[in-house]
Structure 1
């Protein structure tokens, strides 16, 4: 199971949010500084979110993200602000390992199919952000249907993997809720990366035993509640 430290970027800085709320942002320095920090600690891949893109500025942070990709040379999965095929292509062509399609995948599901055919399924990850079993889009403000149905639909369209974010526990550092993950894994054969609530090595072990392919470490990592080493050991 892979461990992905999160590098969330807002106004050119690496930040962490609570429950996706912009006003909760705590800054931790530049994206590249933090990427190197986690790679030096033993990580070998990064989960990068362009928060300005998610909040509507799709072209924000391009320089910072390009620098991070070029300077680290590691596998990067990238989400936030990808609103079109052109946005996704541009990121893939500069070296992103896979793009995470969130709101756009719900608004225009055929984009999943088209990009999977063009670049290969392994470079296309569909985002399943859910609260109470319902997919939430547009900055987690709008409900868009049952999360299991969407996961099945994304698989049918050719997505190579899923990112499941449990919005109910995201950013709170209070642990995971394994049940929605268990149900999701029962409804898809795709690799699933889980974000939201991963706080302790025990959380990582639970997700490992459920059979997820990766976990994202965010607020708990930045606040020191878990280390890269602890997470990697628990993932084995």
Structure 2
């Protein structure tokens, strides 16, 4: 029998106006910049963070461009840790999201991204387009495509949100939705936008559901505030969902979780 899978730490780099930042997810609005709440602005470059992750062999991290003015910063990070192409598969390195579409996806892979992450392109007029998903999957390959189903809770369901999590789409996160999407991509990324950046704990119910529903690798982000949250996600999802830490992490100005703790855990998981 193979070794049982456990939830692992997946790193991230969030870019805003060319800098590495940690932002309270629900406050990022194009129409009203005054609502923006920023927890942290790094003095280090995006490439510095990518080199840190590379040094500790932390794979499958996501690099997210939050709005315009981030392309050069993203290329800096990708150049610092490009995904390696082996047996026609990209390994290691960073996945990139934020404004990915049919016209630029290939160029980001050529710039060193291991995979591209897509949301808004799939929702013209905020309505899900299976045709667009099929087209993009054919264009870049299922194994190099991640679908971002980041969501906000409305009543008793989670609705996929786009445009920096401000606009609600017509797609709910359900088992049927994830089964359908997984035919065209190799991973899911799920920000729980309502708790993103608040350091007040994960959305336990959503993590539990993702563990029940997802049949492909899935990374959850939002609210993680303690090293024990990695064990909590592992238990709730039965090891099927990985976890990203943001504002609580010391490398992002937090004081709740030490990066070296997560590195240690990652090395133990790899043994």
For 1:80, the equivalent position in structure 2 comes to 98
Tell me: CA distance 1:167–1:39, structure 2 relative to 1, closer, same or farther (3 Å).
Answer: same
Bigger Cα Rg:
2
1-side partners of 2:60 and 2:216: how far apart? 19
Deviations 1:16-62 (A, max 9, x none): 1012424212311221223334445663453211112xxxx3xx322
Q: Distance in 2 between matches of 1:170 and 1:182?
A: 17
Residue equivalent to 2:48: 33
Query: 2:70 maps to which residue?
Result: 61
Other-structure match for 1:43: 58
Mind listing any 5+ residue stretches in structure 2 that lack a counterpart?
1-6, 29-35, 83-91
- Aligned-residue RMSD, C-alpha: 2.2
User: Secondary structure, in 3 states, of the residue corresponding to 2:10?
Assistant: strand
Instruction: State how far apart, in whole Å, the 1-side matches of 2:62 and 2:225 are.
Output: 16
User: Does the C-alpha gap of structure 1 residues 20 and 80 become closer, same or farther in structure 2, counting only changes over 3 Å?
Assistant: farther
2:177 to 140, 145, 150: 150
Tell me, which stretches of 5 or more residues in structure 1 are unaligned? Answer: none
2:194 maps to which residue? 168
Higher helix share: 1
The alignment status of 1:105 with 2:105, answered yes or no, reads no
Query: Is the 1:201–1:234 Cα contact (8 Å) retained in structure 2?
Result: no
Scaled by the length of structure 1, what TM-score is found? 0.85
Structure 1 pair 171–87 and aligned structure 2 pair: CA distance change class (3 A)? same
**Higher normalized strand content (fraction of residues):** 1
The alignment's TM-score, normalised by the length of structure 2, stands at 0.75
Segment of structure 1 superposing worse, 29-38 or 166-175: 29-38
